[in-house]
A and B are shown apart, each in its own frame.
Chain A
């Protein structure tokens, strides 16, 4: 047995006794980023399939929320910075090895593009809207001409955005619980699932609700598979990874994770969605809100647990 004590009184704020550098800002942003990525992905996908009128909530209406979601997320990221006045340094450097740099540049591309994307659907959504200025009408007409190429760009960027939120964490070898390649796909799937749930929640079309309920069910199944895979990977790895997994298998994160994320966020809504597809009466908003809440909780728990896991020496 080895027992180690720091005797010189090291009590560095946010580092001792366990790391706590990232509070609510980072997980909130990771959720909003993944959620926005999911919405953009479905919108772009069904535009390319020429189904924009059939699935109008997914393609046209929900993307209006994306600039707002991203703005809140970016605001949270900015609040997290401790040397705020220097944030522009992100955009005077390109660092291929740093996921944080990837994220900053992806957001730099996705945010303006999402505003243009939302603007391109404005006339479909509000046919009676008077845009007043001729230049504005002209601008929107021009944007509309480029909807297809924009959709292609958005599909790629949405996958990068949804995936990088997980890779950002998995790149930290120093925190064993984050250090799994499953984090990227898991966060991407979770973001897509939250977006599909939001579409079922808001659409008035039966066909659209039914399709996205099915999509959400598949995504939930994939997510459950990733979660099992995540723990299998940890348990087959080194001692520090096994200890990281044990925080969820009897340790302090067991109840929050298995009840909130797996139970309320995945398993129960999946059952309700199956019942709904079998024409049993289930209010759509119940499983949809559960999925979205579970997706948010996943980010909070993973960010917290990663900081609590560490190497031994």
Chain B
């Protein structure tokens, strides 16, 4: 099983609902966020192209944060979800330095925190909060190893990219183009 997320850059309008849903669902402290919106403008006027992306931890299959962690607090959980065990985290911040996506932060209580793919919801068979709240249905969550899952079919059919694949982390968030 390999949980992944596909985010349709053609549907995303950058409304930030996913960001707010995550903050509410996961009690993210004020001033912090586990997911965020990037607007990427490319080209030269008047030939401009705008891409909007909802970004978060890529739950990499080869996660540098898990390798950098000296205590196994950063670990790979069910379905390849990268998690932090608060009671094992010493706050050395090696995982933050190792993440090319800057997806982690130090929680005001001292431990390092990040997106969990809402594992508490996924375990009950629900979607992550950001996915369920998206008003344009731009996000799809599921198991990439199940070839009949919606996400596997969509990724097989559509053009997609991942972020900085050249960093070698094997990210699991697919951006549909």
Contacts and interface: CB of A to CB of B under 8 A. Distances in A.
A joins B in a complex:
yes
Interface of A: 1-16, 19, 21-22, 80-84, 86-87, 89-90, 92-93, 95, 97-101, 103-104, 171-175, 238, 306-307, 310-313
Tell me the interface secondary structure of chain A in the complex.
Answer: loop
A15 B92 contact: no
A79 to B, nearest CB: 11
Interface string B19-62: 10000000000011101111111111000000000000000000
Interface of B: 14, 16, 19, 31-33, 35-44, 64, 67-73, 86-94, 96-100, 102, 104-106, 109-112, 163-164, 166-168
B37 A21 contact: no
Contacts of A310: 100, 102
Contacts of A171: 68, 98
B168 A3 contact: no
A174 B14 contact: no
A306 B41 CA distance: 27
Given A4-B41, A21-B97, A89-B73, 20 more contacts: A1-B42, A3-B40, A8-B14, A8-B33, A11-B31, A12-B32, A81-B90, A82-B93, A86-B87, A89-B88, A93-B71, A95-B71, A101-B70, A171-B68, A172-B98, A173-B168, A174-B97, A174-B98, A310-B100, A311-B164
Contacts, number: 157
B71 A90 contact: yes
A283 B105 CA distance: 49
Contact of B68 (A13, A172, A313): A172
A19 B70 CA distance: 20
A13 to B, nearest CB: 7
Contact of B102 (A4, A15, A87, A101): A15
B97 A175 contact: yes
A15 B96 contact: yes
Contacts of B102: 12, 15-16, 19, 310
Given A12-B33, A81-B91, A86-B87, A2 B42 contact: yes
